[in-house]
Every structure is written in C-alpha cells, then in structure tokens.
Amino acid sequence: MGAPGDDAAAEHSLSTHFFSSPVAPAQFTGLFREELRDGSLMIAAEVEVQQAGTYTIEGNLLTAGGDEAGEPVAFARAEAKLKTGRHFVELEYFGKVLHDRNLNGPYLLVGLRGSLNTAVIQPEMLAKSPEEVARFLKTVRDDRPKRAVIPYHAKSYKTAKYRASSFSGAVYSSAQKEQRLAQLRALPGGEAKGNRTDSSHCIPDSLPLVVRLFDLR
C-alpha cells in the first residue's frame, strides 16, 4: 500500500459473486427469426430445452455498420414457461425506444443469455389458498440455487435494415398499466396531484421489458 495520495501505488479490491450451473438446463441453437410487428421489432431465438420450467431470456441490441457501429440501442427480457424440446422465445424491442433513439438498422443482437428459475418457491405455489401457502412455507427449505444458467451465446445476430422512423412512436399501453394508474389515482390526493399520476411519470412509456442501454454490450 502506497502513501496517501499516491494513486500509482494504491491497492484496491473488488468483491463479487460467482455462480455456476453444473448441468445446463437448455441451450441456444443459434437459429433466429425476426419481424416488424405492431410497430416494434420482434426477434425470436430458438432454445433447446432439456429441463422444463420458467425461463428468462435477455439480449442487447446494438447498431451494426457505419460510423455508429456498436452504439447501444435497447435491451429486452422475456419470460416463458417451456416444456422439453425446441422452442422460439421472442424478445420485444419496443417501437418507441427504437423510434426515439433515431438509430437506423441493421441491428446486432448480442449478449444473448438466459436462465431457468429453480427457486424452491415458484409463483404457481403462491397462487394457492392462504392455508395451503402457509403450510408450504412452514416446511420449505430454501437452500438451493435460485436459477440454472443457459450457456452464454457468444455469436451475434444481424437483423435486416430498418429506418428508425418505421417503428411506432406511441407510448406503451396495456390493461395492467391502466389498472396501476387507476390504483394510483385512487390514493388520497391522487387526482389532485395531476400529472404526477399520469403515464409519463408513473410508468415509463417503453414498458414492459425494454430499457435503453448505456454500457451493456
């Protein structure tokens, strides 16, 4: 360790976690398909599943070609309940994100990754009656890994050419979003707060599963 203020001689440490899946629950086949649907870019990646269950698939979208090669565009996540066998899982790159970023395609899908939810407490278990849930929680031992990781897909996928203006600039709308807004407006003072409970403040326009990327590649 150097003297105070001597950055060149300073020592630093970083703690992190290491997670390993000894047996892969699924793997990416390397097959993709894409389409422009309802103003958004849909990219489907094929997964060969060895262990059935609920999977989370994620991928980053970058520009491809030209002076802006590698510029982050968007991120998408999808959850799917899959049986054993081959399945395509769609990642939705929401139209307004692509429209507002104003970066033309083709795009590169990179960093494709996924995992199987292996937690002891599964969502369907909590959907049972309160009595059944209480009995289950008294006996559960939550001492196993929460997920099993799909081997990382190192190769990228290049899309067709798109103009940013071809994507929809409409804000995200869904029954779930409207229900949440109604709940917020029903709170004491909700209506009086006006724009504080509208969609531009409570819920991002680019939901459900898309956010902009800044440093994920």
| Structural domains in the chain, sorted by start | 19-119+145-170 (2.60.40.3870), 172-212 (no CATH)
Bridge partners of residue 47, in order along the sequence: 28, 87
pLDDT tens digits for range 127-171 = 677 777 677 666 666 666 677 899 989 899 999 999 999 999 988
pLDDT tens digits for range 17-64 = 555 556 789 999 999 999 999 999 999 999 999 999 999 999 999 998
Beta strands in 64-106 (DSSP E): 72-82, 85-93
Average model confidence (pLDDT) across the chain: 79
Residue appearing with tokens 């150097």: 2
